[in-house]
Amino acid sequence: MTQESPLKMWTPQEVQARWQAEPDLLLLDVRTEPEWNAYHIPGATLLPMQVITTRLNELDPHRETIVLCEHGVRSMRVARFLVEQARFENVGNMLGGMSEWEGPVEQG
């Protein structure tokens, strides 16, 4: 019997629908600050991949969290870390990242 992975994979379209329906959903952007300043999802939280381990206490391990980056590679690494090492309970990765996001964005 295989155990279902707590790490979920979401398309950008699924993330957008969930984000609009679930106000407590945390969209965790792990890109760099310059990438964030170029454009990001309104209401997302910036926590660059390089600082996740030192700022882990800023995140709630019980809150549903969807991790995203530019193409989905860094976010996958962070999402796996959150599930496997930090024991977060409800983590997803946005497949394709911001390069596939068609929802609203803001700058700065």
Would the pLDDT of 9 be above 90? yes
Name the β-bridge partners of 94. Answer: 10
Containing 46, the helix (H) or strand (E) segment is strand 45-46
**pLDDT exceeds cutoff 80 at 2:** no
* Residue-level pLDDT at 108: 86
pLDDT single digits (tens) 62-102: 999 999 999 999 999 999 999 999 999 999 999 999 999 99
Per CATH, the homologous superfamily of domain 7-100 is: Rhodanese-like domain (3.40.250.10)
Q: 82 and 91 in contact (C-beta within 8 Å)? A: yes
Dihedral of the CA atoms 55, 57, 61, 67 (nearest 10)? -20
| 2 among known catalytic residues | no
Q: What is the spatial distance between Cα 96 and Cα 18, in angstroms, rounded to a whole number? A: 16
- Please write the tens of the pLDDT for every residue from 28-51: 999 999 999 999 999 999 999 999
From 26, 69, 78, 82, active-site residue: 69
